[in-house]
Amino acid sequence: MKTSFIKVSAACPIVNVADIEFNLTNIQKCIKQAYAERSKFIVFPELCITAYTCSDLFSQQRLLEKSEDAIKSLCEFSENKDILIAVGSPLYFNDCLYNCAYIIFNGKLLGIVPKSYIPNYSEFYEKRWFAEGLGIINKTVDLSFASDIPFGTNLLFTCDNIKFGFEICEDLWVTIPPSSYLSLQGANIIANLSASNELVSKADYRKSLVSSQSARCMCSYLYASSGVFESSTDLVFSGHLLIGENGLLLKENNRFQRENEVITSIIDINKLNSERMKNTSFRNTNSICPFEVKEISFQFENMDFGIFDRDIDKYPFVPSDQLKREVRCAEIFNIQSSALAKRFSFTGLNKAIVGISGGLDSTLALLVIVKTFDKLKIPLKNIITITMPGFGTTDRTYLNAVNLCKNLGTDLREINIVDACLLHFKDIGHPVGKHDVTYENVQARERTQILMDLANKEGGLLIGTGDLSELALGWCTYNGDHMSMYSVNCSIPKTLVRYLVKYVADKESSKEVADILLDILDTPVSPELMPKDKSGKITQKTEDIVGPYVLHDFFLYYFMKQGATPEKILFLAKQAFIGDFEEIIIIKWFDKFIKRFFTQQFKRSALPDGPKVGTISVSPRGDLRMPSDASYNSFL
């Protein structure tokens, strides 16, 4: 029963130090809450059965007996509950006391994981009571109510493609956490039972540890720490709860709460496994891991997560936070301009040629060239901008192109392509009134021919303008706008192009330039290869033909980034675009995306160089080695 999503929880119950019955009652309340929310897994803080701050009471036989009774009661409580439970309690074994995670499911104690590293510095004195679990593997434990219970740091708890690994507090703080080894051997959900006291700024460091470990291990990382009622003598605890996934913090609580608290989030297991499959550095475990894992299998009754409350961003390429978005835009411009500067410095050329249509892509390319020339201290007059009016060019796009170039101070030239295209129609015997793909492509290739020849004449580089979304859909003319000498936008999706142009309008331009850029942003996306209407407006709108770019960028992200199935992509799209698109429309454009993505690979196989900006690129030299003749039938 392989699954993509699982709902998980981290909990901080109210505790009384050494009051085991009280603690057990509140642990059970948290389990009831998580179970009602259809969570399949819940992790509790370190030693929460007894409380972490029992100190020398840990050597009292009565405390240990009561804690074992509580584990037995918790196993009985878990019967017929489809939820995996990880709870902290001490274990007396071979004359030593261990700080452990007890893993319970449906009435059974599946295994016990000891804390590997015992802190004994600053405010921590755990070695006074506990032995290190480091190196304990493949042992078994007998308790009063169960025998032959697996015991060790090498335990993995597996349900189909979901694999749980456990570590305890200090284990995360060491140079190589146990979770690193467990992840290399398959654990995709790591849970940490912790009792981390509060100090100024420690919460921020704790979050960075959880985020970075989840990224490094390509896993989900759940962290549950002791709450305020553990606070005693010199220490204060806050009950910090965190759920991370591959570097992202999905959920965090408000600390210092004085009641039982449970946070819940949905984890995307297939996303994690897909990232691992693609990352070849993650695969080699034989020479790294000091132990082999022991897998303990169990089976969830179902994977129903109830309400799907995981946030699905409809703009996966664009940060939703404005400040982060501005930082991202600045970074992208630096990558693009630095890459282009390298090409100019290598070739020794100091002129750029670019076709300007008054549309988004050519505008972005021009802005990148301007930034590059500023870096290289090359006069902007060395940017030769060519506007090439054709049958569908409107006054709005033409004037925006002309005015933008004039305000930026480029060498603006105009070459009308109508007569050349009419002659070519005559040469190849194509009726002028037949507005088909030949009609369109003749114009696109005529423009590219002009630009290429001018680049030769002027001794400059022809800069391509096409973006990632167009390349994914093959929305370009082979050996037309598909070709250039260097392509600066080739890994920028259309949804991000808009924000990059907006960023320049808001942050890095004069009012005159900003006004032009804002009008370009407001202009419908079009190649303007079909005649304009009687009022001189655009008749050929790209998104009417191939579909909304916001959908295609969404499809592209999940198809390439995660290798997600069509069913999963459509499920996520329906969640993300509730109220924007009906299900039948989403399916329609998804099928269009798949068909064009597969059939247009031959264009991507012959792309010019261009900088990789984000994690997704369709360059045939690294990111997308795809056969040009692959069938799309299995993906519709």
What's residue 532's pLDDT?
75
> Count of H helices and E strands in the chain?
18, 20
Q: Detail the residues annotated as belonging to a binding site for deamido-NAD(+).
A: 441, 470, 475-478, 603
Per-domain residue ranges of the chain: 5-297, 322-539
Q: Is 534 a catalytic residue?
A: no
Angle separating helix axes 511-521 and 395-408, nearest 10 degrees: 150
Q: What is the pTM of this model?
A: 0.90
CB 244 within 8 A of CB 221: yes
Environment class of residue 122 by beta-carbon count within 10 Å: exposed (0-12), middle (13-18) or buried (19+)?
Answer: exposed
What's residue 270's pLDDT?
93
Angle separating helix axes 494-507 and 549-556, nearest 10 degrees: 110
Give the CATH architecture of domain 322-539.
Answer: 3-Layer(aba) Sandwich (3.40)
What's residue 269's pLDDT?
96
Q: Detail the residues annotated as belonging to a binding site for ATP.
A: 355-362, 465
Residues 6+ apart with CB under 8 A from 577: 314, 551, 554, 586
- Ranges of the chain with pLDDT below 50: 1
Q: Is 46 a catalytic residue?
A: yes
Angle separating helix axes 566-576 and 583-599, nearest 10 degrees: 130
Do 5-297 and 322-539 have matching folds? Answer: no
- The string of pLDDT tens digits covering residues 452-507 is 999 999 999 999 999 999 999 999 999 999 999 999 999 999 999 999 999 999 99
Catalytic member of 30, 46, 219, 532: 46
Q: How far apart are CA 404 and CA 396, in angstroms?
A: 12
What's residue 248's pLDDT?
94
What's residue 284's pLDDT?
66
H helix intervals, 60-114:
61-77
Pairing mode, if any, of strands 162-168 and 155-159? Answer: antiparallel
Residues 30, 35, 36, 40, CA torsion sign? positive
What's residue 536's pLDDT?
75
Nearest to 86 by CA among 56, 49, 141: 49
Q: Detail the residues annotated as belonging to a binding site for L-glutamine.
A: 121, 196, 202
What's residue 416's pLDDT?
96
Catalytic member of 54, 75, 159, 169: 169
Residues 6+ apart with CB under 8 A from 161: 2, 3, 188, 269, 270, 273
CB 20 within 8 A of CB 67: yes
Catalytic member of 40, 66, 115, 494: 115
Q: How far apart are CA 462 and CA 477, in angstroms?
A: 16
What's residue 2's pLDDT?
62
How is residue 250 written in tokens?
């999905």
Beta strands in 482-608 (DSSP E): 486-487
What's residue 1's pLDDT?
46
| Residue where the block lists tokens 């090498």 | 154
Domain 5-297: give its CATH code.
3.60.110.10
Residues 6+ apart with CB under 8 A from 587: 570
Q: Is 446 a catalytic residue?
A: no
